[in-house]
Amino acid sequence: MSEQILFADYAWLAAGWQQAAALRVVDGRIEPGDAAAGGVRVGRYVVPGMPNLHSHAFQRAMAGLAERRSLGGDGEAAAANDSFWTWREVMYAFAGRIGPDELQAIAAQLYVEMLKAGYTQVCEFHYLHHAPDGRAYADPAQMSLALIEAAREAGIGLTLLPTLYMSGGFDGRALTPRQRRFGHEVDAFLALVERLRALESPLLRVGLALHSLRAVPPAAMREVLASEPARSGPIHIHIAEQLGEVQDCLALRKARPVEWLLDHAAVDARWCLVHATHLTAAETRRLAATGAVAGLCPTTEANLGDGLFPLRSWLDAEGVFGIGSDSHISVSPVEELRWLEYGQRLVSHHRNVAASAASPSTGQLLLARALAGGAQASGIELARLDRGRADLVVLDDSAALLAGRDCASVVDSWLFAGNCNLVRDVMVGGHWRVREFHHRDEARIAARYRTVVEALQREA
């Protein structure tokens, strides 16, 4: 048994900051400690590690490559034609060049970046299953295993979500040639999930994902949801991200996406509905009442022009949310939480939209809710400093940004008052992964990443 006592001047517990906190770490798990037992001071401000509830790791290597107008011409007409759907074409072309070795190299680099930003668990929404021509690898789990190995290299916790992808639209059309590597029949998909579940460990949880309503026919959804893996969760799905998706669902299923899902599936706290951007007031209330997590990815949603989630209405309905970096145009929980609030300010013309009389600090409310919702969506007991896996982040109290701050203002200053990284040290499962801003293996992982990405670009 390994045991250590860590001290923090202030530690973020379930009820907020606790002064002179002793944290007992035993075999990778954490619990309150005895200050009289002796131990090591780790820092002034210690917060739980943040779960990243939505990731497509391979997209990190294409970040910045879709920022040119994809259709010719000038003016409003050309701009109106550049959207999520044209971005998707760039993504498909990039995905078609990635094999297991490339995926591992890209994911390991991404996961190091996540750790250095304060993420300690990532939910990998994984649909890049087969070879570029659509044929299964000799080992059908090869791409999934590449992600597991990348997480092991980096030392981050992983919730792997093998994703079912069967059709190219609500009308059930066949997958296009560029989508075929994503596809599975239900039996093969469930066999993959079961195989991966046998590999679970304290740093690996395996759930499942339905790519979207347009990609999973109703009969297949029912079959998957009746399976044992679905009964034990977690279950993630993209939904209501784009207005075009909402319009297609209305036309072919006579209901909006979230409305249809709630009418046809037993949505509960196992579920994470990623984006859920376009909700009516009635959908907001119904979805919040299920206890499902709204998986919000503000930097990607802004980058793709998705729209804005109705945050204030969601909070009023006591809805649960977490954050994800999705396409990884940014890898920063600070930026996700900042822009979650700033988007609301831009449309409402008010400040501190997320805050309330009961929770007057915008930063503290966003941090607490994102920690809890992210842990729920990850399917692992974490994001707490009084129980669960020993994940923690030590902020740099020597930073100029925190000069003159106390525990009442440090989170607001961290999230809203600068762009320098304040994450100094990061522990995952009782092991230090980042010390003094550096990951133990970042140089090797970055060098391999550069080699892989340069080769991919030469192939373009």
Give the residue numbers marked as catalytic: 275, 326
Among the listed residues 309, 126, 114, the one whose alpha carbon sits nearest the alpha carbon of residue 209? 126
> Distance (Å, rounded) from C-alpha 225 to C-alpha 227?
5
Long-range (24+ apart) CB contacts under 8 A made by 170-176 are: 170/213, 170/214, 170/248, 170/249, 170/251, 170/252, 170/253, 171/252, 172/217, 175/134
User: CA 450 to CA 16: how far, in whole Å?
Assistant: 41
**3-class DSSP assignment, residue 5:** strand
Name the 3-class secondary structure at 124: strand
What is the rounded distance in angstroms from the CA atom of residue 121 to the CA atom of residue 203? 8
Burial class (CB in 10 A: 0-12, 13-18, 19+), 274: buried
Q: Establish whether the linkage from the previous residue to 162 is cis, with ω within 30° of 0.
A: no
Residue linked to tokens 């609500």 = 170
Q: Parallel, antiparallel, or unpaired for β 157-164 and 119-126?
A: parallel
Which residue from 301, 294, 340 is spatially nearest to 318, judged by alpha carbons? 294
Query: Considering only CA atoms, which of 87, 61, 58 is closest in space to residue 454?
Result: 61
Helix ranges (H only) for 96-131 are: 100-117
Of 436, 432, 433, 412, give the one whose Cα is nearest residue 423. 436
The token pair that represents 255 in the structure block: 């209901």
Q: How far apart are CA 400 and CA 74, in angstroms?
A: 45
Rounded distance, CA 181 to CA 94, Å?
Answer: 13
Token pair, residue 128, equals 């890049």
CA distance 177 to 157: 33
Q: Measured between alpha carbons, how far is 374 from 159 in angstroms, rounded to an integer?
A: 11
Q: Are 429 and 389 in contact (CB under 8 A)?
A: yes
